[in-house]
Structure 1
Amino acid sequence: MLDLKRLQRNLGYEFRDESLLVQSLTHRSAGARNNERLEFLGDAILGFEIAENLYREHPNASEGELSRARAQLVKRETLAAVARRLELGDYLVLGAGELRSGGQSRDSILSDAVEAIIAAVFVDADMESARALVRRILRKEILEISPEAQPKDAKTRLQEYLQAQGKSLPVYQVVAIEGSAHEQRFVVECRVESLGVTEQGEGASRRKAEQQAAYRALAKTGASDS
């Protein structure tokens, strides 16, 4: 039996309807009543709270700097680190296949559970309670972030370089998806027709594969360190 009281103490929130917490921890592999819909809602609440926090706390940061800082705070790796701090892996409800493959330690499943819990608090109480939860569980990351110090990602740098040169923008295309459903690897092609450059990248998500492909294309331009 899961000690949900301990988890709620770690979250700093006590559920009126504990079944919402259970649902937020339940992966789709474990049944029809799972956390996918809650994850969808939690993603939006998280993004809004982080955006407003950055806007208010960093009045001198530009739109681009704020966007990069927000992306850093809401990305899968950050949320997975938060989940591990909360020891969420001990509470996840997974199907037999996911259990055997180590799903309780997978970044994607952990980060999805964080977003689902945020939404579960919203459904159980209200928006302010959900936003307060975001501030609590990401307090360390929020305090440490510096929008002005966030480097531009490779896709942004490549786009800005091409715009400065008056060249057409790159086209990204998924050329392959390899591996099983829970361990997929994406292969993405970045094509810059105006420069005659085509590079591929790969990663555990389409976003990561696109970034790697963009970095390799950028390197071909000689501007990768700019």
Structure 2
Amino acid sequence: MRTVWFVFAPLLLVQAISVKLKETSDTLEDELGYKFNDSTLLQDALTHSSYSRHNNGPLHLLGVSIIRASVYKHYLAKNRDATKEELEAMSSSLSSTTACARRASGLGLDKLIRADVPVDRKSDKVLAVAFHVLFGAIAMDGSADQAMSVFWKIKSSAVI
């Protein structure tokens, strides 16, 4: 009987982790107001490079670009005479490590990021990268416009 338990215990653990990941992914998608068509993009977005070679690194640059483009578009729509310096200052403020880490924490990303033990999931840098990556993942899953829309929803949220 013990042999059977040793064979099935790892499978049960994997199933339990999969169910928990699905529940937390659903909660995050509810917070974002965006449902991923490709759940592997969300899994990759929540995976630090220390954890797996399938991680959020490739989506990071896209996410940062989405946030910056979103800020530029938003503020240019309000003021077509805005200077490059004004747009850069606004973009830097809204995409800073501190601002993005605060929003990531508000979304509970510190509890969702998969990383190896030495990585501090609550550090501003890790949280900010995870926040940036979400928008790269949304852009890849849907569109840049959808990612921009989700960014402004989160930015405007009273919770974050």
Counterpart of 1:166 in structure 2 is none
For structure 2, which runs of at least 5 residues remain unmatched after alignment?
Answer: 1-19
> What residue in structure 2 maps to residue 130 of structure 1?
147
Q: Distance in 1 between matches of 2:88 and 2:59?
A: 24
Decide which of 135, 144, 150 is 1:118's aligned counterpart. 135
> Considering only CA atoms, is the larger Rg found in Structure 1 or Structure 2?
1
TM-score when normalising by structure 1:
0.57
Q: Does the 8 Å contact 1:54/1:70 carry over to 2?
A: no
Q: Which residue of 2 aligns with 1:87?
A: 108
The alignment-based identity, stated in percent, is 25
Q: Cα deviations across residues 146-196 of structure 1 (Å, max 9, x unaligned)?
A: xxxxxxxxxxxxxxxxxxxxxxxxxxxxxxxxxxxxxxxxxxxxxxxxxxx
> TM-score, normalized by length of structure 2?
0.80
Structure 1 counterpart of 2:88: 67
Specify which of 46, 59, 62 is matched with residue 41 of structure 1.
62
- Confirm or deny: 8 A CA contact 2:139 2:147 kept in the other structure: yes
Higher relative contact order (CA 8 A, sep 6+): 2
The Cα shift of 1:7 comes to 0.8
1:77 pairs with 2:98: yes
Q: Which residue of structure 2 aligns with residue 5 of structure 1?
A: 26
Question: Superposition RMSD on alpha carbons, in Å?
Answer: 1.6
In structure 2, what is the equivalent of residue 104 of structure 1?
121
Q: Normalized per residue, which structure has more strand?
A: 1
Conservation of the 8 A alpha-carbon contact between 1:25 and 1:113: yes
**8 Å Cα contact 2:71-2:90 kept in structure 1:** no
